[in-house]
Structure 1
């Protein structure tokens, strides 16, 4: 079928040029050579026997464990209602299926709208789905978590972490320093926060140094 179509097309083009273009013989020979060259290329690379259908969707690529997945047990705890939802979402994210992680946690927040940890997880899933960018939806999810647990460290800590992933270093440092200022002196998570703030300060200094005129 492919050859029939291309031969019919070539004949129609040649007839139209001969009838209406009024080319001289040399020009018609040049056009004929171009059509033959196109047909030769089709014969070399064309595969008319293949059925016409779109290519299969690209398989999702596996990802390394996210920073949220690595640290959430230390900050949020475990073995509670949110932990089971977040564990399943982490599994989706590791397989590269961030869309399913977002859908899962969006459904979880609809079922348990007053659980701040689920809103944190949704914000993180949206950031992963956007390849690290802080989308308006992700920001809204973190802000919702903060409003539900204004004195808890989890929402602000992971909000700052997501901001770092999106390259919003100044805002991330402000969020973390405000959290550190309000943290109890003996809080178990305080050293982790102090370490992250120090690393972020070093990163910002390195970036500023690389941009300085020489």
Structure 2
């Protein structure tokens, strides 16, 4: 019965996209391919009879595609590194996937020193990762405070775009990244990396618009 339900859900998703949301016919092939890949992955890996269990912090850390601390440092020039000693402990927690604790270490200090750009940025990232990549009111507030502390940094815009990509909101991510690059200085930390990621996102969107099955580009964040 589980397999029947999964197949019916896939067919329903296709019907909703094609009819209810009036998806262009040129994109039907891409949608069908994506659903097919999903069903294939389910067939290979799913265990519908296995009881669910909450993820441990170590399991969540292992699922991360990049080191969040190194990713942050790519977009923070050395001259802007925080001197807050709590950030070292918070980073250690983040590397273990313990994002709630990482955020708790920093939350109080951001109120004591609202000008510490890197602490605000680290807090925003930890809050976002704790929400499995979703943007919450708390994380958006922290990103805004980081932007206020250092208006010429590309970091807040970059990480907002990352979250949008993870939620499948690709056009919004593209707009955020383009605006971030246009507003940022030419010598801003991380500019080359953001330009490369935007180019790969543009290529993926171009393939989707032509009805091709898109290949999600590898993210070299943190390398």
TM range (shorter): 0.5 to 0.7
Q: Deviation at 1:192? A: 1.2
Q: Deviation at 1:61? A: 2.4
Q: 2:154 aligned with 1:157, yes or no? A: no
Q: 2:65 aligned with 1:68, yes or no? A: no
Structure 1 range deviating more: 92-101 or 59-68? 59-68
Partner of 2:51: none
Partner Cα distance (2:174, 2:73) in 1: 22
Q: Compared with structure 1, are the counterparts of its residues 202 and 117 closer, same or farther at alpha carbon in structure 2 (3 Å cutoff)?
A: same
Aligned length: 156
Q: Which runs of 5+ in 2 are unaligned?
A: 1-53, 215-223
On the 8 A contact 1:82/1:118 being kept in 2, the answer is no
3-state SS of 2:151 partner: coil
- Higher Cα Rg, which structure: 1
Q: Deviation at 1:84? A: 4.5
Partner Cα distance (1:71, 1:197) in 2: 16
Partner of 2:93: 92
Partner Cα distance (1:61, 1:143) in 2: 29
Partner Cα distance (1:172, 1:81) in 2: 27
Partner Cα distance (2:55, 2:71) in 1: 30
Partner of 2:171: 170
3-state SS of 1:69 partner: helix
Q: Deviation at 1:137? A: 1.4
Q: Deviation at 1:147? A: 2.4
Q: Compared with structure 1, are the counterparts of its residues 165 and 85 closer, same or farther at alpha carbon in structure 2 (3 Å cutoff)?
A: farther
Q: Relative contact order (C-alpha < 8 Å, sep 6+): which is higher? A: 2
Deviations 1:83-119 (A, max 9, x none): 7544422321232322101111212312222222211
TM-score between both structures, scaled by the size of structure 1: 0.60
Q: Which runs of 5+ in 1 are unaligned?
A: 1-56
